[in-house]
Structure 1
């Protein structure tokens, strides 16, 4: 029987998110930080976004990725630096979308994904940091093409969920809740989509992701959108906006400082300068809460 954890134990302060472009986009992280800021105003959490577009844990890259400009970055290359820099108390890791490299199911590619996830879990466990794996976001073949890739994500997500009992992993499921919502909405409106490219969800898709994480953590939020959830609080939408501004500054600063091999990324502010801006925004948030 899976045990639902407390939202965050008292010793958890720094919460790191690892993942690909969906995590880098980070709307679900903004949603989560805003939720916990409003629901638990007496606690201070630091939500750190180290998502890197195109990244995998499998180490695979399809021929001609990014028009042949660069191979997909591999988390193996930067994980140790990210952990040394961020010193997290808890890590959420969301991989899988890129790991099948948008090809039909193949046992060898699947094995590389499993090996990468086992490696990631082992590396984090060795540091004593708790990890919560997240299943990948849903892939929409109607808009993304790549026939058969939705089945690949079904299998990768199913495998992750299966690790909860034999290995005792903490695994939050965002894939199947996203898929159910997509199919339910599409039954009424065949044109409905989270992601116009089949991969990168819009604000609604990120909110469905955030709600799935909240549900896993034992929280309940029934609002149909982030705005609807946060406008219930006197200054909730202002806090939501400020958290978004802070995350936009900090994610590039964290990524740049840790270092990576993906071309074309924004160059973030020096971390010390970014932290000063972050502190100023945090003060504004505290004023809004009081």
Structure 2
């Protein structure tokens, strides 16, 4: 009888350790879908994320499908002078979930949702409703959801076209000078959602930007005011890793980026992400001025599989 109890205890301890072990790898051994706007479509932060996860855990399975779409919102809002109505993620979310069947979804929205204007209660409510709808749809599909707060806006590099007048019309062509404060408002609300895993990119990037400007008032890692450059994308990936994989230790952005310049593994991972992102973006389908829809993902999957074999060889 005593041996039986010892056996039971050992079994319980074994499965407890296994569960804890898997919980330590929140993006591994599952299909991860990343949604977002042009910053995610650019995708460099996804390249960094993918690279460091593979480098640190070469034996773990990783499959991140990034399908950011330039100009997209979660709110459904758009400015009158935009060349076309901004894409709305909810017009493609159902297909994205059904076709990719993710276990986990990461979503980064907010930069476009404020329409680069002063804080407006109607637009803000549209954003909140869009996020709530996103949360509901993702959870109904059976997937987990991680929200990424909007990144940061830097008016100084584009000060010649900034709007300093609260009463005039503002848009992506003529952004509000305090638009970063609007993004902070959106961030605060996201961080207040109960029982929601949220990664605060805004606070992290804001801290980095303030520190940079103390050294050099004209310094920035957002050269057009909106889109992070390579260093900005590195900071985005670093913050995600800090929250999800705190055991991964990285050097300064400058040191890491210098090391990656001639890194064949990083270049291969980046190529894989670009091919997979474009293929899945078109396969899911979207409307951005014109409608794009592909009925085939097999060619993309074949190319990705070839690159997976090369990545495995490089990791050995």
Provide TM-score, normalisation by structure 2. Answer: 0.82
Aligned to 1:159: 189
Aligned to 2:9: none
Match of 1:198, SS state, is: coil
* Partner deviation per Cα, 1:147-187 (whole Å, 9 max, x = no partner): 22111001001111111xxx200001111110110110111
Structure 1 alignment gaps of length 5 or more: none
Does residue 107 in structure 1 map to residue 125 in structure 2? no
Deviation at 1:222, TM superposition (A): 3.2
Aligned to 2:202: 175
Q: Which has the larger radius of gyration?
A: 2
| Among candidates 251, 254, 270, match of residue 223 of structure 1 | 251
Match of 1:47, SS state, is: strand
8 Å Cα contact 1:22-1:200 kept in structure 2: yes
8 Å Cα contact 2:75-2:129 kept in structure 1: yes
Return closer, same or farther for 1:11/1:21 CA change in 2, 3 Å cut-off.
closer
* Partner deviation per Cα, 1:45-79 (whole Å, 9 max, x = no partner): 1110111110001010011113xxx1100011000
Provide TM-score, normalisation by structure 1. Answer: 0.89
| Among candidates 277, 280, 291, match of residue 251 of structure 1 | 277
Paired with 2:126 and 2:67, the residues of 1 have a C-alpha distance of 22
Match of 2:117, SS state, is: coil
Structure 2 alignment gaps of length 5 or more: 1-21, 163-174
Deviation at 1:130, TM superposition (A): 0.3
Match of 1:133, SS state, is: strand
Return closer, same or farther for 1:241/1:7 CA change in 2, 3 Å cut-off.
farther
8 Å Cα contact 1:49-1:247 kept in structure 2: yes
* Partner deviation per Cα, 1:219-255 (whole Å, 9 max, x = no partner): 24332228627949xxx92211100111111111101
Does residue 277 in structure 1 map to residue 303 in structure 2? yes
Paired with 1:196 and 1:185, the residues of 2 have a C-alpha distance of 13
Paired with 2:32 and 2:67, the residues of 1 have a C-alpha distance of 11
Deviation at 1:34, TM superposition (A): 0.5
Paired with 1:157 and 1:188, the residues of 2 have a C-alpha distance of 26
Deviation at 1:263, TM superposition (A): 3.6
Paired with 1:12 and 1:265, the residues of 2 have a C-alpha distance of 33
Aligned to 2:42: 25
Match of 2:286, SS state, is: coil
Does residue 64 in structure 1 map to residue 81 in structure 2? yes
Does residue 40 in structure 1 map to residue 40 in structure 2? no
Aligned to 2:214: 187
Q: How does 1:93-104 map to 2 (within 5 A)?
A: 93-104=107-118
Aligned residues: 278
8 Å Cα contact 2:285-2:291 kept in structure 1: no
Aligned to 1:150: 180
Aligned to 2:169: none
Paired with 1:180 and 1:212, the residues of 2 have a C-alpha distance of 12
8 Å Cα contact 1:57-1:116 kept in structure 2: yes
Aligned to 1:54: 71
Return closer, same or farther for 1:192/1:258 CA change in 2, 3 Å cut-off.
same
Match of 1:201, SS state, is: coil
* Partner deviation per Cα, 1:240-273 (whole Å, 9 max, x = no partner): 1100111111111101111100147999894211
Paired with 1:29 and 1:226, the residues of 2 have a C-alpha distance of 18
Aligned to 1:92: 106
